[in-house]
Structure 1
């Protein structure tokens, strides 16, 4: 029914615009060509680019995603091979390339690293509006001239530069959430302009968009599998916010060289509002209410990225000077209020106990980077590139909690004292920390081309000096700050080869060594009580990075003039995995509990096969029809305290398939995209989780109204996708091994569709 309504609404502008199209088609060439190409119907399918890179790279221009009107880069990446997420429904934040934890994937903006708020050093790609990007590159292996933090691979988000646009356009749109508050509406607005300013070229862009994610959650809890239901919980969870972004770039010739200046700023304002009611025995009536909970989280995140680059011919080649600054300011204030009933047998609304908690988290992470690089041609069609890259990170974290407020009010509704302001906030153990990290990474790389073969080989040496300062005291105790230092270096060889088998076929082989640096929270020397059930946890500042040797072997064939099909197999051998280990010291919970820490004690393997197809159907006379199909089969093996398992959170497959149909004579197009990812399993100390997702269906239909105006209607999550989780919870690691349950829980989360109506006007 929803799909029928969507298509019906989309056909209205087709009919209304027929006369306008006839009147304006003759003047279609009068506007600024580059700006118009950003908004008009192309008349032919937009496909994946076939890059000339030696390192296996998949490249997708914005037009590949734009017709489905993704709000964020995360939404866009759902149509890219081997990208999975373990986010909530309608959320696409931490990229799990090849199904691995986000810390294994390197996120670059314009080829440069950016800090994120996550303790695993990952960057949430849903912080970047899709409207800012020029293209997205998926780099499957590594090269010596890029940071080696790319065990799973690299996502390079290329923003528009000063040469990207001649003219401008305005984007106006409305977003409808029919399952939220009787059909809640939001807006999306943006403008981009590029052109000649003085001696150089300037690009400016701004974007504001509402984001809303209303979900419903339902949980059932049991003492252990097969037992009668102990309690159930009904929960509403709404993420409501607005994203603001601004980007600019200027490019000009200076002193015989080329100077590029660029910057981007993104602000996310969001409220996460959760309301839940828990029922005894799963009987969902007022008489069986156990508790009512109100949990609010106020988030404000600012990302700033500035960069300068100067290229000049000198010393017989081309020299590049780079300077960059990036920071993230993440503030999160959380409150939780809970009213409890039935503690004395008296049912709702007689409140027995009221509890209030509050937490305040502030992260300031900034990086200053620089590079001096030089490349020059050598004899025999070879090129030499060498340089040194430098990076300084300063990360300050403050995670504080207020003393819990609790009132016991048996059989006396309405007599609870007024809630006083939360005060004072005190840092939790390890919550007041500073991390200083300095990297100096020299590299050298040689590349060349001989007949049908193109190749590159390089060597990179990454050095890291880290200083960690953190409080190790309990709240209320005298403040004790402990400082530890650690340094290490890694030699990272890499080599890639591309061999042209024919005019249509080519073979690509790549071998590289990569690293993953430890999570920030694992470096803190603070003791966290009951972090894993009843067991405690103590960080390890002496952790070394994990390292991996990887190989990618791919085959790619051109289909017709513009289509491409590829098949790639990959393998990663990861050593020095950071795993939890038992110190044998008794924990704060007494006999039977322990203090756990982490160390470089494990090894693991990751492998898979990736298939991607992107082609028009011109070989059967349908040159205006484009199809795409991506399928990745993923697997891994690792040993933990219970034996063999996959890497945590790795889905066993991910698939996306879709089509676009252009109608050039009507100035219209439509299409659909379907996505599904397999189950993922997590096993950590004292808890195990199995996660399953439903399928996601998106459709669009667009119409060119005038020579410079396009209107597009899209619908996403049309199958009301759900996220289903199964939790096996234990009091300790020992109980987990013995399968002595603390709790067994089933949880499902669902959300409804989202519709967008967007108009772009070029000028």
Structure 2
């Protein structure tokens, strides 16, 4: 109750700040007439130029792309970037996918470092981010856990005379109001100009509701020659309310000690409370109902995370540099879960109460030495070492005749990597990158009840990237690399995780497998790029991956209970084509309007050899994705834009028995930005204009039984108003 009252006050504060700065702007305009005019010089980023000059396959997206729609969730920003899609996993939040692959195939980095266990993409507010790097092929100085690609999130670093920015955000979705307030400031100390700082923070309160209609049926037959006979037919209505209240602070301190040495500290602190409430009501038309046809649950969590990086850099002779980084992370999480299950008569049959606490501490030490040892070679070598210790306990009480259960385990994760890389300028038109990375990762867990495990993985990853410039505008790229995907700790712990209700092969319990091995992949890329102007580019890229030891889900029946687990089972091949076009019409012809156009086309194919076809795709890979967008500058003060994306329907075969279907998905966002003066701007946006429902289905069939699930999830528009002020 106290936290909810604080959240209500947070929304009130955001609206108050909005009104406050609206009045302050009017006063500032009056004072401007009496104040000498100041000239402000800003160095604009040139993402296209950086992309063209980089020997690696890397695209950079700055503040203009991040804040265009005033998003408060990072996943909303990422879904509009070329080649990236976002899906909602059941109970796991947003899943980021490159080339249609998520679930560990896409690597997420924060300031170039791997994210800790339990990290969620939406725990980082977009207003704290300076830029986003998307790498199709990662370099040797970052982890090779990136079969599909890498997304590197860079927090704000600028600090030299940075203007103070304040942003108030209010959004409305399905009648539910959310609020967000963020600020950032940076400057130098007057008496010590060699020391500068940045301080950025956010306060947010976000709520949303998901309504799902599920239809479940079961059929039986005596033999394969007989017709199916329906033995169960049920309809389930589910309403889920999600709430997240959070406060984040991201400070940075820079100290230029002398001409050779500099020291910096970057921190990020987040305190959050999350709550998820579900209500489920079942209507049975044929056969028996589930064990708890009328149930509801409440899950809540308090989470505190801290991330710190202390970096030192020394400039040596002949443009050489030595840098070291000491980092430490901490996580403290406390969760509670209530489940109440009733029968058709409304009688309470079970009350399950689960509490859990987790704390994790990670320590990192990285270093890098870079030296141009000749006119054509820049050599760098480095190391990364980290150790994470996690302690977690879980206590479950059932107010029935069943005994209580408790789990207490400790887990550790050690990483050690060394790498060597060389940027080689062969001639004026041809450059190459050679990298070699050796990575070893060890994980183990100790828990009473024969749940201990120890898992070690080593990977040697050679990387070759090359760019050949045909002229000042056209160039070819080629890359060859080795990458891998590790099993998560949760998939390794050999403990049984039960579902709350309705155990079927489509909704089974899960048990970890301590014998899982990493998936290992060879990859190849070939790309053509044509840079027409500073902000106009057309590119085409094709890629290929061969993955060994693919982890596939296997579902078995143990007694009357269905249990799924992962096992390494064979090889998969993926192939894809990516086309991107971005055009600034006025730069192409001065007579054209101030209009920017962009479009992407992504076609992905994959085949798992050990799963019978057709449709034996890898990890529910999306086959076809198309997007288009435009930004139009009506006048110096008004700018409008829109982004549309389409993902084709997808048929999936995950095993000889399990198939699925995903309906096509269409998404449209629009925005209007009104720049009132140099200091303030108002943004209005509408996300999910089309409000298309999400429709998915799954079928599990064996010789004599068939289960079918059809899920329809409603969606709603989000109306958002953002006020930005620079002081």
TM-score range, shorter chain: 0.7 to 0.9
Q: Residues 358-397 of structure 1 correspond to what in structure 2 (within 5 A)?
A: 358-397=353-392
Q: What displacement does 1:595 show?
A: 8.5
What are the superposed Cα offsets for residues 548-604 of structure 1, whole Å, 9 maximum, x if unpaired?
11111111111233211211111111112234579xxx97418xx998765433111
TM-score (ref. length: structure 1): 0.81
Q: Residues 210-225 of structure 1 correspond to what in structure 2 (within 5 A)?
A: 210-224=205-219
Is contact 1:47-1:626 (8 Å) kept? no
Could you tell me how far apart the structure 1 residues matched to 2:557 and 2:440 are?
A: 36
Match of residue 200 from structure 1: 195
Question: Are the structure 2 counterparts of residues 587 and 75 from structure 1 closer, same or farther at C-alpha, using a change threshold of 3 Å?
Answer: closer
Match of residue 148 from structure 2: 152
Question: Is 1:576 the equivalent of 2:571?
Answer: no
Deviates further, 350-359 or 381-390 = 350-359
Q: What displacement does 1:716 show?
A: 0.7
Q: Residues 549-568 of structure 1 correspond to what in structure 2 (within 5 A)?
A: 549-568=522-541
Question: Is 1:524 the equivalent of 2:493?
Answer: yes
SS across alignment from 1:706:
coil
Match of residue 726 from structure 1: 697
Could you tell me how far apart the structure 2 residues matched to 1:32 and 1:682 are?
A: 62
Question: Are the structure 2 counterparts of residues 716 and 48 from structure 1 closer, same or farther at C-alpha, using a change threshold of 3 Å?
Answer: farther
Could you tell me how far apart the structure 1 residues matched to 2:525 and 2:617 are?
A: 20
SS across alignment from 1:499:
strand
Residue in structure 1 matching 2:463, options 483, 491, 494: 494
Residue in structure 2 matching 1:717, options 679, 688, 697: 688
Could you tell me how far apart the structure 2 residues matched to 1:90 and 1:63 are?
A: 32
Match of residue 706 from structure 1: 677
Q: What displacement does 1:134 show?
A: 0.9
SS across alignment from 1:70:
coil
Is contact 1:90-1:213 (8 Å) kept? no
Q: What displacement does 1:713 show?
A: 0.8
Match of residue 518 from structure 2: 545
Match of residue 475 from structure 1: none
Q: What displacement does 1:290 show?
A: 8.8
Q: What displacement does 1:20 show?
A: 8.2
Q: Residues 78-477 of structure 1 correspond to what in structure 2 (within 5 A)?
A: 78-87=79-88, 93-117=94-118, 123-163=119-159, 166-177=162-173, 179=174, 183-197=175-189, 198=192, 199-224=194-219, 227=230, 230-254=233-257, 256-281=260-285, 291-314=293-316, 317-341=320-344, 350-405=345-400, 426-427=405-406, 432-449=408-425, 450-472=427-449
Q: What displacement does 1:29 show?
A: 10
Is contact 2:613-2:653 (8 Å) kept? no
Question: Are the structure 2 counterparts of residues 190 and 34 from structure 1 closer, same or farther at C-alpha, using a change threshold of 3 Å?
Answer: farther
Is contact 1:47-1:64 (8 Å) kept? no
What are the superposed Cα offsets for residues 347-371 of structure 1, whole Å, 9 maximum, x if unpaired?
xxx5345332233344434321111
SS across alignment from 2:663:
strand
Is contact 2:177-2:207 (8 Å) kept? no
Is contact 2:612-2:656 (8 Å) kept? no
SS across alignment from 2:77:
helix
Question: Are the structure 2 counterparts of residues 113 and 34 from structure 1 closer, same or farther at C-alpha, using a change threshold of 3 Å?
Answer: farther
Could you tell me how far apart the structure 1 residues matched to 2:611 and 2:48 are?
A: 46
Could you tell me how far apart the structure 2 residues matched to 1:641 and 1:712 are?
A: 49
Q: What displacement does 1:50 show?
A: 3.3
Could you tell me how far apart the structure 1 residues matched to 2:444 and 2:89 are?
A: 34
- Structure 1 portions without partners, runs of 5+: 1-12, 39-44, 118-122, 284-288, 342-349, 407-422, 473-480, 730-735
Q: What displacement does 1:609 show?
A: 0.9
What are the superposed Cα offsets for residues 46-73 of structure 1, whole Å, 9 maximum, x if unpaired?
9896352211011111211312111122
Could you tell me how far apart the structure 2 residues matched to 1:546 and 1:196 are?
A: 48
Could you tell me how far apart the structure 2 residues matched to 1:323 and 1:272 are?
A: 36
SS across alignment from 1:95:
strand
TM-score (ref. length: structure 2): 0.85
Higher relative contact order (CA 8 A, sep 6+): 1
What are the superposed Cα offsets for residues 20-44 of structure 1, whole Å, 9 maximum, x if unpaired?
89x8999899468479999xxxxxx
Could you tell me how far apart the structure 1 residues matched to 2:280 and 2:171 are?
A: 27
Q: What displacement does 1:503 show?
A: 1.0
SS across alignment from 2:186:
strand
Could you tell me how far apart the structure 2 residues matched to 1:266 and 1:201 are?
A: 23
Is contact 1:377-1:383 (8 Å) kept? yes
Is contact 1:382-1:446 (8 Å) kept? yes
Question: Are the structure 2 counterparts of residues 322 and 213 from structure 1 closer, same or farther at C-alpha, using a change threshold of 3 Å?
Answer: same
SS across alignment from 2:139:
coil
Could you tell me how far apart the structure 2 residues matched to 1:390 and 1:77 are?
A: 29
Q: What RMSD in Å do the two structures reach over aligned CA positions?
A: 3.7
Question: Is 1:738 the equivalent of 2:717?
Answer: no
Aligned residues: 681
Could you tell me how far apart the structure 2 residues matched to 1:392 and 1:617 are?
A: 51
- Structure 2 portions without partners, runs of 5+: 1-18, 220-227
SS across alignment from 2:477:
strand
Could you tell me how far apart the structure 2 residues matched to 1:60 and 1:572 are?
A: 26
Q: Residues 573-722 of structure 1 correspond to what in structure 2 (within 5 A)?
A: 573-579=546-552, 588-589=558-559, 598-618=566-586, 619-620=588-589, 621-640=591-610, 645-665=616-636, 667-680=637-650, 681=652, 683=654, 688-692=659-663, 694-722=665-693
What are the superposed Cα offsets for residues 196-249 of structure 1, whole Å, 9 maximum, x if unpaired?
123311000111122122222112222249959822122222212223211011
Is contact 2:89-2:95 (8 Å) kept? no
Q: What displacement does 1:149 show?
A: 0.9
Is contact 2:48-2:534 (8 Å) kept? no
Question: Are the structure 2 counterparts of residues 340 and 556 from structure 1 closer, same or farther at C-alpha, using a change threshold of 3 Å?
Answer: same
Could you tell me how far apart the structure 1 residues matched to 2:693 and 2:538 are?
A: 31
Q: What displacement does 1:750 show?
A: 0.9
